[in-house]
Structure 1
Amino acid sequence: MSVRPRLIMVRHGQTEWNVQRRWQGATDIPLNANGRRQARAAAPYYASLEPVAIWSSPLSRAHDTAAEVAALTGLDIRTDGRLAEMDFGDAEGRVWEEVLAMDPRLAGWRTGRDVQWPGGESGALVQRRVSRTLERIHESEPEGVVLVFSHGTAIRMGAAAMVGWGVDAVWRLDSMDNCCSTGLALTSTGWRLDHFNASPQWHASTPQ
């Protein structure tokens, strides 16, 4: 018998820095016009899950994506700063080539090695803060589906930690697309990854 996901983490809609492939991190970059369209288009699917609560990162790109679902469900958005994107420090606003020019040691980030970002966080720190926050959210809403609007790296780090993977294993999970979701289901043996980077369109066309 399948277990319905209880925590569904949704990445925000598109921003201009996404288009330009700039590292956003903790910088509060808003949705662009396409991102707002994506959020509106995805909202009916996420609302159809009949969530019992909506949580969000305080960064506007995530919060504004959540607001589209909140408008359809009538739920308030609960905001928690620990759901914010990883702080990439001095790398924020730069493209990858500029990041490497700043500090070549950061290349290890894309090969599964944790790094301490200059002026920012490490992957291990993000895993701890996001996974502990997800656990607290579940404790506050032990029944029903909870939607959590966050960011690509934060979602991957948190999901990996919840199923027992370390930072080095996060790279089993590819990058997440805008407005796509990753679901965690609680079983008798603990949390498991139900789906990763699934689009609302894919969900809608798949028999439940």
Structure 2
Amino acid sequence: MLQLFFIRHGETEWNVEHRLQGRLNSNLTENGIRDAKLLGKRLMEIDFDAVYASPSLRTIETAKLVIGERTLPFKTDERLMEIDLGDWEGRTIDEIKAMDPDRYHLYENAPSQYANNGETFEDVESRLEAVLRDLERTHDSCNLLIVTHGVVIKVLQMICKENPIDLVWEPPFIEGTSVTLVKIEDNKRELLLEGDIAHKERKGAF
């Protein structure tokens, strides 16, 4: 049985400002750093074989805070990067709604029809599916820690549930440092946890 612990990076300065990041980056906040350390304590008893992370600085920093003093194989994979949002990146949601209301409406309400000068949700689905296939092929029965981004994890949920793209935003919301756990066994993918934040709520470990 392969278990994939998908973690969203910790809260960033731009998250607080409601500013879309995409391929750009902003620093973790004090809350983001604290939450990543809390998650590290929660996952302390989990024996991980390796860590995979998006090459964005916010995901790498989160991953290092979570694993702490552990020595683990650490790999970055560009296919785990956040959706490329083109000329929206670095702008606040209010700015985007003012400059591009029709396209933002599609992004939120009809994501299968959304297109920008970056990526579509189908593009994210394609590269994430490739990551999952590679992990299934190269790892047997083990636990993997995968630190990535909000949209990537929403697409992961969609893939595991075999939902259409227009349901990509269905709950739960993916908060910073939340855990989404996927079990893969006999070529079947099962979501065991979605957007879990028990470490923030001081509810202990797995």
Would you call these one fold, judging by a TM-score over 0.5?
yes
Counterpart of 1:169, as a letter, is L
> Contact 1:13–1:35 (CA<8 Å) still a contact in 2?
yes
Could you say if the C-alpha distance between residues 45 and 72 of structure 1 is closer, same or farther in structure 2, counting changes exceeding 3 Å? farther
Shift of 1:189: 6.5
* Displacement of 1:123: 0.5
Q: Decide whether the 8 Å contact of 1:181 with 1:199 is kept in 2.
A: yes
Distance in structure 1 (CA, Å) of the matches to 2:175 and 2:59: 13
Displacement of 1:57 after TM fit? Answer: 0.4
Identity value in percent: 27
Match of 1:183, SS?
Answer: strand
1:200 and 1:66, CA in 2 relative to 1: closer, same or farther beyond 3 A?
A: farther
1:131 is displaced (CA, Å) by: 2.1
Report the counterpart of residue 91 of structure 1 in structure 2.
88
Contact 1:66-1:77 at 8 Å conserved across structures: no
Are 1:172 and 2:170 counterparts? Answer: yes
What displacement does 1:193 show? 1.4
Of the three residues 46, 50, 53, the one matched with 1:49 is 46
Helix, strand or coil for the counterpart of 1:7? strand
Count of aligned positions: 205
Counterpart in the other structure of 2:197: 199
1:102 aligned to which of 99, 102, 107:
99
Tell me how far apart the structure 1 counterparts of residues 139 and 35 of structure 2 sit (CA, whole Å).
27
Whole-Å separation in 1 of the counterparts to 2:153 and 2:71: 25
Between the aligned partners of 1:176 and 1:162, the Cα distance in structure 2 is: 15
Partner of residue 119, structure 1: 117
Name the SS of the counterpart of 1:42 in structure 2. helix
CA–CA separation in structure 2 for the residues paired with 1:188 and 1:142: 11
1:75 matched to which residue of 2? 72
1:40 to 1:205, Cα distance in 2 relative to 1, 3 A: closer
Do 1:181 and 1:196's aligned partners in 2 also have CA atoms closer than 8 Å? yes
With the length of structure 2 as denominator, give the TM-score of the two structures.
0.89
Which residue in the other structure is 1:18 paired with? Answer: 15
TM-score normalized by structure 1?
Answer: 0.88
Report how far residue 163 of structure 1 moved.
3.5
**Structure 2 spans left out of the alignment, 5+ residues:** none
1:54-80 deviation line (CA, Å, top 9, x unaligned): 100000111111112333321031100
DSSP 3-state at the match of 1:87: coil
Q: Which has the higher contact order (CA 8 A, sep 6+)?
A: 2
Q: 1:131 to 1:70 in 2, by over 3 A?
A: same
Distance in 1, Cα, partners of 2:34 & 2:205: 26
Alpha-carbon shift at residue 200 of structure 1 (Å): 4.1
1:58-114: CA deviation from partner (whole Å, max 9, x where unpaired): 001111111123333210311001101111111111222211222222212212432
